[in-house]
Amino acid sequence: MNHKENIQRFQYLMNTVQREGKYELMRYISEKTDFYFAPASTNFHLACEGGLLQHSLNVYNCLVSKKNIAIWKKVFDGMSDESLIIMSLLHDLCKANFYIKSYKNQKTYDSNKIAAAQKRDIKHDELGDYLWETVERYQINDDDQIPLGHGEKSCLIIQGFMKLRMNEVMAIRWHMGFSEDKSQYYAIGSAMEKYPIVLALYEADLEASKLLEDVFGSKEI
């Protein structure tokens, strides 16, 4: 899907959520943040414009695909569609207004660029001829306006507009699973036992970022 379709899908899914404060939250997202245009990361997955939105939709797709798997049946049976939408689409809201564009110099071995370059600009190393080029990249904004962490930051931003249920708080807070600091492992394990949807969202996040997404693109499922 292209970027415009991704925005439409995100808005369509969020429009199905019937909860007080949802419109204020949506207005905040579209008017006060760069959520629709931000990358999903600086280097790892979907480090490109619109990456965060694409990643959020990918996590939604991965999460709802678990509904039909026998082992998850009990967990998803009691789960409303709107909870799944909220957890997946908003889990990384903490990344809105979090990255800025900057520039870096890097080597390029592109033969077309080398053929078109001035001889004095062509260098050589063990990999062959190269040029230095300046490329755009994303980096974390050192001046984060809401420095509250990651999953906890998403929860707190959402709760500023719309009340979350406890299982949604758990899933969003712990969606990084065992990538969190070791000191949190006990709480994460306990949250997963009490609210197995925590594990489902953690898995869906990993499936999206590791199986569907690379630095600049995403596969469709």
Between 98 and 130, CB nearer to Fe ion: 98
- Binding footprint of Fe ion, residue count (CB under 5 A): 2
DSSP-assigned letters across all residues of 185-212: HHHHHHHHHH-THHHHHHHHHHIIIIII
Minimum Å gap between C-beta 119 and Fe ion is 46
Q: Name the residue with tokens 């420095």.
A: 147
R_g of the chain, CA atoms, integer Å: 20
Of 191-210, binders to Fe ion (CB under 5 A) are 205
Q: Which is nearer to Fe ion, 7 or 205 (CB)?
A: 205
Site for Fe ion in 85-144 (CB under 5 A): 92
Smallest distance from the beta carbon of 6 to Fe ion, in angstroms? 15
Least distance (Å) between residue 113 CB and Fe ion: 34
The whole-angstrom separation of Cα 107 and Cα 155 is: 40
Q: Is 213 in the site for Fe ion (CB under 5 A)?
A: no
Residues within the interface to Fe ion (CB under 5 A): 92, 205
